[in-house]
Amino acid sequence: MNLQERAGEVRSRIAEACKRSGRDRDSVEIIAVTKYVSLETARDVVDLGYNKIGENRWQDVKPKWEALGSRVEWHFIGHLQTNKVKDVIGKFSYIHSLDRLSLAKEINKRAEALGTAVHCLIQLNISGEESKYGLEPEQFFPFVEQVRNFPYIRIAGLMTMAPYESEPEQTRPIFRALRQLRDECNKRALLDYEIHHLSMGMSNDFEVAVEEGATWVRLGSILVGKE
Ligand SMILES: *Cc1c(COP(=O)(O)O)cnc(C)c1O
C-alpha cells in the first residue's frame, strides 16, 4: 500500500472505532510519527494534509524541522534528557514525555526565558514494564501538585505507551486507566484548568485506544511506514 492508501485505511479504522464507542469522529486526531522515514517521505505526509508530526530525537528531527517547521505542529514524543531541553524548547508545541521533577524544572526555566508557557503531557508507565519511561500511577497526583507550581508549564494531558500485545484487546486496561487518571485529576481540580488530551494508541493498538478515549493517536509504521 502507498501512503494514501494507508491513510485511507487508518481513517476508516478510526471512524469505525469511534462508531463502536459512540464517540464523535472529530474528537480523535492523528499525530503522524515520522521518526522512521526520510525528510522526503515526511514532506509527503505533510503534503497529504497531516499537520501534527511526532518525533522522538532532536538529532534526527532537526533537518525535518528546518525544512517543514512552520507548516506543521511538532510533538516531542520521546524520552527527553534534561540537557536536551534547550534544543527542543520553542520548536515543539507539545512535549509528551514529562515524567520527572528535574525535567519540569528545566522546562519551566527555559520556557520562562522564552517568555512563553510550554504545553506538556505527563507520561505514565501504567503497565509497570521496566523498559518504559513514565511515572507510576501512584506518583501521578503528587507530581501534578508539584508541577502546578511551575507557571511556565501547562499540562495539556496524559500520555502512555502500552506493551506490545499480539492481541491488542489486552491493552484496554492500560488505556482505560489513563483516562481514569485524567478524569480523577479534573474531578479533584488539582489544576486551575481542566486537562483534556489522552495521547495513547500506536500502530498496533490504536483502535482500542480510540475506544477508550484517546484524543491523539501516535501513528508511525501503519501510516507513515518505515524505511
Ligand atoms: C515510535 C513511536 C510511536 C509510533 O510507533 P508505531 O508503532 O510505529 O506507530 C508512537 N509513540 C511513541 C512514543 C513512539 O516512540
Give the pLDDT of the chain (227 residues) as one tens digit per residue. Answer: 899 999 999 999 999 999 999 999 999 999 999 999 999 999 999 999 999 999 999 999 999 999 999 999 999 999 999 999 999 999 999 999 999 999 999 999 999 999 999 999 999 999 999 989 999 999 999 999 999 999 999 999 999 999 999 999 999 999 999 999 999 999 999 999 999 999 999 999 999 999 999 999 999 999 999 99
**Total residues found in the chain within this entry:** 227
Task: Give the E-state strand segments of the chain in sequence order.
Answer: 29-33, 52-55, 73-76, 94-98, 118-124, 153-160, 197-199, 216-219
Query: Is the CB of 218 within 6 Å of ligand 1?
Result: yes
For helices 137-147 and 172-187, angle between their N-to-C axes, nearest 10 degrees? 40
- Of ligand 1's atoms, which has the minimum distance to the CA of residue 159? 13
Cα 81 off chain centre by: 17
Q: Answer whether 125's CB lies under 8 Å from 132's CB.
A: yes
Report the nearest-CA residue for atom 5 of ligand 1. 220
**Total domains present in the chain:** 1
Index of the ligand 1 atom closest to the CA of residue 35: 1
What number does the ligand 1 atom closest to the CA of 226 have?
8
Report d(CA 74, CA 55) in Å as an integer. 8
Q: Assess whether the C-beta atom of 217 lies below 6 angstroms from ligand 1.
A: no
Domain, as residue range, for 140: 3-224
CATH of the domain at 12: 3.20.20.10
Ligand 1 midpoint to CA 218 (Å): 6
**221 CB within 6 A, ligand 1:** yes
Query: Partners of 121 in the beta sheet?
Result: 157
